[in-house]
Amino acid sequence: MLLTEVVWRHGARTPLSHSPFGEAEDDDSGITTKRLYTPEELTEVGIRDSYELGQVLRNRYYDFLNEYNPEEVYVRSTNKNRTIQTALLCLAGMFPISASDSPIGLPWQAIPVHSVPTELDSVLYVPLKCPYADGIYWNEIMKSGPVLQLMEQHKSLFSTLRKETGLALETLDSIYQVYEPLYSVVHDANGFSKLPKWFTPELFNEIESLYHTSTTFYYSDERIKPLRGAQLLQLLAVQIKDKISGKIPAAKFFGYSTHDVTIIGLLENMQLYHANMHPEFMAAIMIELYEQFGNYTVEVWYRNGMYNKTMQMLRLPNCNYPCSAEQFVKMTIGQSEDDWFARCNPTNNETSTTTLSKYLFSTSNANLRILF
């Protein structure tokens, strides 16, 4: 192995709002709040599972990455508390030390996690505002025949959910408004909030299945793909190319702490995504570069999340196994828009690109040059 690039989703978090469906059931059978609720933050379950992913990566790459070396390891996160914390916890699991080896007497070492402002992060923060892509999604895809047919097939479900939640739920995409808080609470064993009284496991399974299907419409359009996930895929391919050419000889591990839609966009751009691959909390993609007798090959591995930790090798379309690194790079480089901000904002491209350039050239972190 010469290089590994790992993209993971953050750990379990609290729902985006405290009480999305109004008052929850008050009896003792509900999930109770144990400490102050803050939206969008890692739960205790998320903290444990983030550390556990680090241990999984340590075991997988033990002979390749034994001890932390800043010249070999680079980790970047979106600028969100939950992803930054997940990255720090994952690194703690990957590179444990004893308290006696620490200058502060703790079994932990300070490993940097890099980030850029959310409004400039078209690489990792895939849902970044993009009027061009958003217009296609809302005005065309959400009004397309297949989407409207799904809405009709689940008419009874939407009617029930509108009645119970008070939400308008006018599009297929809006099923996320119901699924997101339910999913977050269901997977929080310590309980920041309660499930609504109308909740049943059977109803949740139906909501979850429809939500997973809805995600296949997110970035499948060929006009949207170059703007949603292609920037990250190109970055990963460039790093593989640079490793082979000797431009980054010391690099061994690139880690990216992100979100479910980041992974969806990445899988879509590799022509691999379908509904049953939806990235749950702590899902991870591993892209590994190997060399044998002068031949360079790439393997792509995936685990769905914290409740499905089985590593699955993904076979890339149009790349025979074993997939040559040359073919992988050829397939991926050039898919993304050269000027993401100008393409997304065709009526305001000067402001967008100027803002980005000023940030990149003013930063003192030279490592950022490899990220765009």
Q: pLDDT tens across 265-277, in order?
A: 999 999 999 999 9
Phi, psi values for residue 215, rounded to 5°: -70, -20
Higher confidence at residue 353 or residue 327?
327
Angstrom distance (rounded) from CA 188 to CA 205 = 17
Confidence tier at 335 by pLDDT (50, 70, 90): confident
pLDDT of residue 361: 36
Amino acid at residue number 138: W
Is the pLDDT at 193 greater than 90? The verdict is no
Residues 6+ apart with CB under 8 A from 293: none
Confidence tier at 14 by pLDDT (50, 70, 90): confident
**Number of separate helices (H) and strands (E) present in the chain:** 12, 7
pLDDT of residue 190: 54
Tokens 């431009």 belong to residue: 247
Residues shown for the chain: 372
Q: What is the mean pLDDT of the chain?
A: 89
Helix ranges restricted to H, 258-348: 260-269, 325-332, 340-344
Angstrom distance (rounded) from CA 173 to CA 180 = 12
Count CB neighbours of 213 within 10 A: 18
pLDDT tens across 167-177, in order? 999 999 999 99
Angstrom distance (rounded) from CA 225 to CA 218 = 9
**Contact assessment for residue 76 and residue 114, using Cβ atoms and an 8 Å cutoff:** yes
Higher confidence at residue 163 or residue 26?
163
Is the pLDDT at 12 greater than 80? The verdict is yes
Mean pLDDT to the nearest integer, 202-225: 97
Q: What percent of the chain has pLDDT over 70?
A: 87
Tokens 């970055």 belong to residue: 235
Of the CA atoms within 13 Å of residue 18, those in its CB half-sphere come to 7
- Ramachandran region, residue 314 (left: φ > 0; alpha: ψ -120 to 50; beta: rest): beta
As a whole number of Å, the CA-based R_g of the chain is 21
Mean pLDDT to the nearest integer, 299-319: 90
Is the pLDDT at 303 greater than 70? The verdict is yes
Angstrom distance (rounded) from CA 361 to CA 176 = 38
Q: Where are the beta strands (DSSP E) in the chain?
A: 3-9, 73-77, 253-258, 284-292, 295-303, 312-314, 323-324
Q: Which residues pair with 258 in a beta bridge?
A: 9
Mean pLDDT to the nearest integer, 245-249: 98
pLDDT of residue 119: 96
Confidence tier at 189 by pLDDT (50, 70, 90): low
